[in-house]
Amino acid sequence: MKILYHHRTASKDGQAVHIEEMIGSLRALGHEVLVVAPGGESAPEEKSRMGDDVGWVQRLRARLPKWVYELLELGYSLHAYRRLAAAAKGFQPDVIYERYNLYLLAGLMLKRRLGVPLLLEVNAPLADERERFGGLALPRLARWAERRVWRGADAVLPVTQVLGRMIEAQGVPAQRLVVIPNGINEAHFAAAPTPDAAKRALGWEEALVLGFTGFVRDWHGMDRVIRWMASPAAPANARLLLVGDGPARAELEALARELALGERVRFTGVISRDEVPRHVAAFDIALQPAVVAYASPLKLFEYLALAKAIVAPRQPNIEEVLDDDRNALLFDPEQPGALEALLARLAGDEALRLRLGEGAHATIARQHLTWLGNAERVVTLAQSLRAAPRAALGDAKA
């Protein structure tokens, strides 16, 4: 099958992991994938770096009036469409696969021109997200664009059931929704060192290591973990490893200094994806202190793959993957002290940590949470859409 893969993502964080792994898995299955994206397809040496982001995009957004930036985003659709159409002319795709981004209509435009199915991967309700966290100057235009592409796609692939229900509420028929969560590249994590070796590499041989991976923001709640580290409930050998970077780093480092934690808290800064397994391997307790209601956090799948005892909030999107006391401990995010109580419980119970870790690792096979499995589902879906009568496909009037 020939798959025209389109995205507008320039950042080198978890988003890029999803993109790279899906492309690689589709190719591993023997399909031909042509990528159209800003700057072209990344070379192997340019693979994503955990905790990294694209500064020039943020600087441009900060300097321009919001309404100007948003109109530029919408205008980019025309540029992207021209690039997609030029690529399709020689490639002759069987299907278009697009990673949804706000104001990005290029895939929908090309689908209507060529009459080939459009599969739309959706990781977040970006109009809501932007309005809540960054602000929108043109919310009516943003929501129009979002609904138009969601309704016009032949299949919409949200990463959680929660997100799927949000999309369905915007007029997308349930039969066009196929939930495909994040996954794991098992081969990438198979070469991870043993926990003891990973701790030796950090100089923390006798430590109880709590860990977090990714681009850390203030809402992730890592300040609560740092304050717990300074409390009597934390054992003296407890250490906190934050793998990545992010806007909350400076504030968290200042808090650690204020609490005199010294080398008990360590940031790796931005690292390559290849380095992630050897850091996560050192974790005794893997942290997801907070998460937005619709996300499929990539870090959870990394924790599962390396058999870590996970602490996460009890909320519907998390419970799509984690079961309390089976492969994780879940806490009520509305209950003060609930996270801290679970940290203390896990810190003092090695047998519980091992049992949860075994349950975590078994989850990957039980729920088929691999990128290769995701690619197989996408291909099966694309083939079924190719075989369907055109009248049954996406809403031409969306």
Asked whether residue 361 is assigned to any structural domain, the reply reads: yes
Q: Quick one: pLDDT band at residue 46, thresholds 50, 70, 90?
A: very low
Per-residue model confidence (pLDDT) at position 39: 73
Q: Is the pLDDT of residue 389 over 70?
A: no
> In this structure, which amino acid lies at residue 331?
F
In a domain, 398, yes or no: no
Contact between residue 378 and residue 178 where contact means Cβ atoms under 8 Å apart: no
The candidate with the shortest Cα–Cα distance to 178, out of 385, 397, 392, is 385
* Backbone torsions φ then ψ of 241, nearest 5 degrees: -115, 120
- Residue 194 and residue 292 in one domain: yes
Residue type, 138: L
> Residue 65: inside a domain, yes or no?
yes
Share the mean pLDDT of the chain.
Answer: 92
Same domain for 374 and 363: no
pLDDT tens track for 326-350? 999 999 999 999 999 999 999 999 9
Contact 214, 16 (CB under 8 A): no
Element (H, E) at 122: strand 118-122
CATH code for the domain in which residue 85 is found = 3.40.50.2000
392, pLDDT greater than 90: no
Instruction: Say if residue 226 is in the same domain as residue 266.
Output: yes
Residue 170 included in any domain? yes
220 and 171 both lie in a single domain: no
Burial class, 229, CB count within 10 angstroms (exposed 0-12 / middle 13-18 / buried 19+)? buried
Between CA 288 and CA 283 the distance in angstroms is 13
| pLDDT band (50, 70, 90) for residue 135 | confident
The lowest-confidence range among 11-15, 193-197, 303-307 is 11-15
Looking at the fold, whether 117 and 209 belong to one and the same domain comes out as no
Residue pLDDT, tens place only, 58-93: 677 778 899 999 999 999 999 999 999 999 999 999
Same domain, 191 and 332: yes
**Is 116 in a helix, a strand, or coil?**
coil
276, containing H or E segment:
helix 276-280
> With bands split at pLDDT 50, 70 and 90, how would you rate the model's confidence at 390?
low
Q: Roughly how many angstroms between the first and final C-alpha of the chain, as a whole number?
A: 27
Q: How many independent structural domains does the chain possess?
A: 2
Q: Which residues contact 111 (CB under 8 A, 6 or more apart)?
A: 96, 117, 118, 152, 153, 154, 394
User: What is d(CA 209, CA 205) in angstroms, rounded to the nearest whole number?
Assistant: 10
The range of the structural domain enclosing residue 97 comes to: 2-183+370-392
Q: What is residue 284's three-state secondary structure?
A: coil
List, in sequence order, the alpha helices (H) in 92-138. Answer: 106-114, 126-129
- Are 272 and 297 in a shared domain? yes
Number of CB atoms found within 10 A of residue 232's CB: 6
Does 160 map to a domain?
yes
pLDDT at 396 over 50: no
Cβ(38)–Cβ(387) under 8 Å? no
Does the predicted model carry a pTM greater than 0.85? yes
Confidence of residue 41 (pLDDT cuts 50, 70, 90): low
**Whether residue 196 sits in one domain with residue 154:** no
- Edge-to-edge strand order for the sheet containing 329-331? 265-267, 238-243, 208-213, 285-287, 309-313, 329-331
397 occurs within a structural domain: no
Question: In this structure, is residue 293 part of a structural domain?
Answer: yes
Q: Mark whether 143 and 220 lie in a shared domain.
A: no
pLDDT for 45 equals 41
In this structure, the answer to whether residues 244 and 348 fall within a common structural domain is: yes
Sign of the C-alpha dihedral, residues 208, 214, 219, 223? positive
Structural domain contains residue 329: yes
Residues 164 and 213 in one domain: no
273 and 165, same domain (yes or no): no
CA distance 270 to 243: 8
> Do the bridges between strand 271-272 and strand 49-50 make them parallel or antiparallel, or are there none, so unpaired?
antiparallel
